[in-house]
Amino acid sequence: MKSPTSIPVEASSFTYIPECLSGTEGAPTFCLRYGTRRDKHASQDEMNFRRVRSHSAEDIREAVIEEFRSKWASDELDIDELAARIRAFYDDMDALEKAITDWLKECTEIEAENEGLAKAGKTPREFPPRPQSDIDAGEREKIAGLIEEIESASERIGRIRRDNNRRERLIRHVSLALLLEETSLPVPLKRDRDGMLTDATLFAIEDELEKQFSGDGQRAAFWQLGTQAMMTLYLGREEEKNSQSPSPGTSNPNGSTAQESESSTSENSASKEPEPAPTPGTSSPMDTQT
């Protein structure tokens, strides 16, 4: 494969500064070029070569229910009934997320309409009430806690999360290896025979960023740089320009699999796929109380 620097870029490169370093004195700059179809193919080939695996939200949900059935069985628990409640919880989260998305769209339309009504001296329309879950708060808390306990105690789900976290890191890593042309950091950009930046070069960039900029709110710089490279590679140029770059608050340098989302739906997204606790609880699966 030819070196990326020899591939026509059809317009150009651009200079990028990680959002968390915006306004920081001496913030480094990074020159990224827009990717081509060949770059996308090279990225896919590299991800396959590294045997990167990923699992969907549905995969995780099914694993939760299967783990629950296989390891939580006892005479004291109605496994079928509880499994049905877990599925109902997931279905409710899906429905609520869609309802909130539709609600936000409607509110945006009403807001635009109200501007015209205000200019005409007419009464503005009221916003509709925010959608709510069909499951009462107590049940939601109980099932969310059960899901978290299942995930925390499950090696299988731990491996699934590990696979997804690795993919999130590597897709940014590979995108950056393909598209980064220059940086103001004192790091030589060394490339392999295919023209991609070497792993050692990218690790050196990450180390240098941590060395120079490691204050609160600045640790996400390398993650944001990789995210920008990924967006530039997989979105068309106009789409990339019109899309919002992830803010420091939504970018996760630890490699979370959570997608960046509207702030108004982040609360719902968090409860939709509960993250495992840092360490398994001290109680055994058989001690779960509902």
- pLDDT digits (tens), the chain, 290 positions: 333 333 343 448 899 999 999 888 889 999 999 988 999 999 999 999 999 999 999 999 999 999 999 988 777 788 999 999 999 999 999 999 999 999 999 999 999 999 999 989 999 999 999 999 999 999 999 999 999 999 999 999 999 999 999 999 999 999 999 999 999 999 999 999 989 999 999 999 999 999 998 876 778 999 999 999 999 998 755 555 555 444 333 334 333 333 333 333 333 333 344 333 222 232 333 334 44
Can you give the residue range of the structural domain that contains 27?
4-236+259-281
Determine the residue type at 226: G
Q: Is residue 243 part of a domain?
A: no
Q: Would you say the pTM of this structure is higher than 0.75? A: no
Q: Is residue 130 part of a domain?
A: yes
Strands 13-16 and 30-33 come out as antiparallel
* 96 in a structural domain: yes
Task: Kindly state whether residue 250 falls inside one of the protein's structural domains.
Answer: no
Q: Does residue 249 sit within a domain?
A: no
Q: Is 248 a member of any domain?
A: no
Domain count of the fold of the chain: 1
